[in-house]
Amino acid sequence: MITDFQGKTAVLTGAGSGFGLECARIGAGLGMNLVLVDVQQDALDKAQAELEATGAAVLARKVDVADAAQMEALAQAVKARFGAPHFVFNNAGVGSGGLIWENSVRDWEWVLGVNVWGVIHGVRLFTPMMLEAAAADPAYQGHIVNTASMAGLLTPPNMGVYNVSKHAVVSLSETLYQDLRLVTDQIGASVLCPYFVATGISQSHRNKPGDLAGEKPTPSQLIGQAMTEKATSAGKVTAAEVAQRVFQALRDDQFYIYSHPKALGNAQSRFDAIVAGTNPPDPFAERPEVGVGLRQALRAG
């Protein structure tokens, strides 16, 4: 929980676009110091210029969140410039689809590297720093938010690598919440589970590593990307609205943050099947035309 943001420090990965940039904009308006982290230099430079123009104190770093050494250097730079952060938003993420057996080792390494190891590094490096600050100052308030997805609560087909990565983030975040509750009342944790929101994640291939960028996508991967682009572009909830929900969760000490609570019906049916021991339900039960279209497209190939 954080009740006063003025003069506090926010570390935001994936800050060049989407939820990261929108949260940085809110933070700037609340008088926070901002640490902007992104792998895309041009987007990072643009974000830095915009936020510095508001008068915010900004530290911008190009970092591959999957790289332990780069993240360790980032943590040291944050501590040297601003001290322990108060809000850590482990938000950087990439998307990748396709039938689960068609993903290459490099696909797995890239998606799990950014989506899972990026969060792991953020938690392992900044949590001890925040605990030290809390022990030194009874008034210190901190909060960690990890970006997962509704794909961390569901198992839609043709996007297995992404599902696996986001389920890991949900589990990591729930455990972080419980671990923090054991040792402190001053630091909270949340998990963000957005559904289809236009953030740029459907264009993740723009930031693929060089040796992966040249791999030719399989038909199922192309179908998956097209479906994701269509769904996110048609989304009615904006990244800015989701960012507002993130900050409200910081104030309310709310763990689960959803962009589309109505989508939880699919999660409920999944959990009911787990408890009952029945086979996994149709993930497209509420929108059967999606499943029909996907099945036809894959079988046509």
> Is there a contact between 17 and 42 (Cβ–Cβ < 8 Å)?
no
Exposure string of 62-80, with b = 16+ CB inside 10 Å and e = fewer, is bbbbbbeebbeebbeebbe
Q: Is 20 helix (H, G, I), strand (E, B) or coil?
A: helix
Dihedral in degrees, nearest 10, Cα atoms 91, 94, 97, 99: -80
Question: Which is catalytic among the residues 162, 177, 195, 258?
Answer: 162
Other beta carbons less than 10 A from residue 17's beta carbon: 19
> Is there a contact between 62 and 44 (Cβ–Cβ < 8 Å)?
yes
245-259: pLDDT as tens digits: 999 999 999 999 999
> Is residue 162 among the annotated active site residues?
yes
In degrees, to the nearest 5, what angle opens at C-alpha 84 toward C-alphas 200 and 119? 35
pLDDT at 203: 56
pLDDT at 200: 59
In the block, residue with structure tokens 């609570």: 261
pLDDT at 210: 61
pLDDT band for position 67 (50/70/90)? very high
**CA 203 to CA 113: how far, in whole Å?**
17
> Is there a contact between 37 and 92 (Cβ–Cβ < 8 Å)?
yes
275-293: pLDDT as tens digits: 999 999 988 877 788 888 8
Has residue 157 got a pLDDT over 60? yes
In the block, residue with structure tokens 């009952």: 276
Task: Give every CB contact of residue 274 below 8 A, 6+ residues apart in sequence.
Answer: none
pLDDT band for position 101 (50/70/90)? very high
DSSP H or E stretch at residue 277: none
Q: Please provide the distance, in angstroms rounded to a whole number, between the alpha carbons at the two ends of the chain.
A: 50
Q: What percent of the chain has pLDDT over 70?
A: 93
118-152: pLDDT as tens digits: 999 999 999 999 999 999 999 999 999 999 999 99
**CA 286 to CA 263: how far, in whole Å?**
9
CATH of domain 9-264: 3.40.50.720
Q: Judge if pTM exceeds 0.95.
A: no
Name the DSSP letter for residue 86. S
Q: Which amino acid is at 234?
A: A
